[in-house]
Chains A and B, each alone.
Chain A
Amino acid sequence: MTQGDTRFQTSADPSANERRPMTDVSQRIECQWCHSQSAVGSRSCETCGAPLDIKNLVSDSGWKEAPRLRDMTEIHFGSSTCQVEGEVVPVAEINLGQGDAIFFEHHVLLWKEESVAMSVMQTPGGAKRAFAGMPFVVSVANGPGRVAFSRDASGELVVLPLHPSMELDVREHAFLLASHTISYSFIRIQGLRNILHGGEGMYMDRFVTNQVQGLLVLHGYGNVFERTLGAGESILLEPGAFLYKDSSVTMDVEQMKLKTGMIGHTNLYLARMTGPGRVGIQSMYVHHGSE
């Protein structure tokens, strides 16, 4: 227990405990999605917006449904807030505090106040990014002021508070915005088969936190589910459904030959994800093999 943390404090005087009100303002409740703590009585997690008064939905096979954020839920990061608006194609509206900034791909920008200063993040490998179909420019919005983002399809916003020293790999173009405390880079997917048949393109976005917690907001098509794989545990995914993973999870595309007649066959490619770590998937995707 750290100094100043009063979560488990009790008074040595029994009568003082009896006089304590039923709701202790120092008590905290833990969010089952992001494991951050919020004040007792909060309906939504202050860090990721997940409803705190609704039980987690977990399928028999262990997939946890990403929490459905209530319309107008507010999330806090740094001196800024993020409000999630809408349900079919949700909008993330950011109220940036002085000195805070967020970065994003420019095509997800919905609107902004004129006072919000824009700049461009220096990203390495510009030519490679352009060649691979990734955005050449990663834009930065600097506070104070309001700016809002949305994608062009029905789905869910997935708010992932990244605790210090975390590394997360995200399918390209799936990230909506991230706070400036998160380091952004991109990694090349290893192996020609993974690139050609993995359905994720040549690169994945990598987000890393150092000493300070950051906020990462993704957009998943359809519904989003997360599962935590144990060390060595593996699962086979349709590559188009992959949304994010901890960097500790490895991905290898496997080929299956499916016989279609006397001499014909077609190939099915599935991504084998091996733990330990989290894997996130989206239920709506374009099947890469049928396009």
Chain B
Amino acid sequence: MTSAGTTYTCRWCNITSAGATTSCPGCGAPVDIRARVSDSGWVELPAIRDMARIQFGQSSAQVAGTWVPTVDMNLAPGDSVYFSHHVLLWQDAQTQLGTQPLKGGWSRMMAGLPLVMMEATGPGHIAFSHDDPGEVVAVPLHPGTALEVRENHFLVATQAVTYDWAQSGVWFTTRNGDDTEWHYPVGQYIDRFYAQSTPGLLFLHARGNSFVRHLAQGETILIKPPSLLYKDPSVGMQLHVEYPRAGAATFWRSWGNRYLWLRLWGPGRVAIQSSYERMEDPGSGFSSTSGHTEYAW
């Protein structure tokens, strides 16, 4: 029984609520489960319960489904959200759709990023989903905070959140005959979301399960580059290469027996997803990189 005056602070988003519901109204995380922390310190993001509601302003979002969850938004008059057009699932006929201008259209097209950022304005319902089994991750952004998200994981955000994108800064080149081939282990660009003066809400889609950990100042971790979901801007990242021990046959090093890692260092949060696409590595030697470290076992 919840007595009057009881408050509950969500351990995921730090938003305080009455605690009268089974889910946090700020991020949808269940309120009555313990944190699941692996021995190594990764915290499993709790899956948002089926039909959990998240409130933002006069509007609300409901997460429905478990395999490929959908975000079903009930937009109040005048409230709006923006999204990439390929995640739109359905909408009420009365919901108004428009587009948002995006800078660098040519660069985005060349990088395989969506060209169109759409905007939906209430009143009305509109729903979104991604085309992979996984989880919807709701990230409330407090005023003055930002988040960097790996490209193609953004689902929808409220208007209080500004969107920008920048070079990821992690790349290497290889030679193929006379041609130079460019490789971007975490994508060429990274999405940046920022809540300026009012709180905002950001929905991401993670493939598989998602885990988060807080890196202390100077603490590092190596992750597979495509597994990155999001990170705080304060977390640095760089390419790291390991060459396994190959005995006398050290020439193997020159044709591909290597591991490509993303080195992340704190302070700040970093989130990963358990399912990710295969990373293409031609195996040939680097001709140039964005800066990397290496270690031979």
Contacting residues, chain A, for B130 (C-beta < 8 A): 284
Within 8 A of B (CB), among A270-291: 270, 272, 281, 283-287, 289-290
Task: Given A236-B90, A237-B90, A259-B99, verify A283-B116 contact (CB < 8 Å).
Answer: no
Task: Given A61-B72, A289-B85, verify A283-B93 contact (CB < 8 Å).
Answer: no
Question: Which chain A residue lies CB-closest to B118?
Answer: A258
Interface readout for A213-238 with B: 1 if CB under 8 Å, 0 if not? 00000000111010000000011111
Question: Which chain A residue lies CB-closest to B105?
Answer: A261
Are B90 and A260 within 8 A (Cβ)? no
Tell me how many residues of A have a C-beta within 8 Å of chain B: 40
Taking a contact as CB atoms closer than 8 A, the residue among A59, A156, A236 that contacts B93 in the complex is A236
A268 interface residue (CB < 8 Å to B): yes
Contacting residues, chain A, for B115 (C-beta < 8 A): 260, 266
Are B90 and A222 within 8 A (Cβ)? no
- Main secondary structure, interface of B, reads mixed
B256 CB to closest chain A CB (Å) equals 31
Interface readout for B102-136 with A: 1 if CB under 8 Å, 0 if not? 10010000000011101000000101011111000
Are B64 and A57 within 8 A (Cβ)? yes
Are B91 and A236 within 8 A (Cβ)? yes
Are A234 and B86 within 8 A (Cβ)? no
Task: Given A225-B65, A258-B85, A260-B116, verify A59-B72 contact (CB < 8 Å).
Answer: yes
Contacting residues, chain B, for A65 (C-beta < 8 A): 50-51, 64-65
A155 interface residue (CB < 8 Å to B): yes
A63 interface residue (CB < 8 Å to B): yes
Are A61 and B105 within 8 A (Cβ)? no
Are B67 and A284 within 8 A (Cβ)? yes
Distance in angstroms between the alpha carbons of A290 and B65 in the assembled complex: 24
Are A223 and B88 within 8 A (Cβ)? no
Contacting residues, chain B, for A272 (C-beta < 8 A): 93
Contacting residues, chain B, for A63 (C-beta < 8 A): 64, 72, 127
A85 CB to closest chain B CB (Å) equals 17
Task: Given A60-B72, A258-B85, A260-B116, verify A287-B65 contact (CB < 8 Å).
Answer: no
Contacting residues, chain A, for B93 (C-beta < 8 A): 234-236, 272
Task: Given A63-B64, A241-B89, verify A283-B50 contact (CB < 8 Å).
Answer: no
Contacting residues, chain A, for B67 (C-beta < 8 A): 88, 154-156, 222-223, 283-284
Give the 4 A-B CB pairs with smallest separation, nearest first.
A222-B68, A223-B65, A284-B68, A287-B86
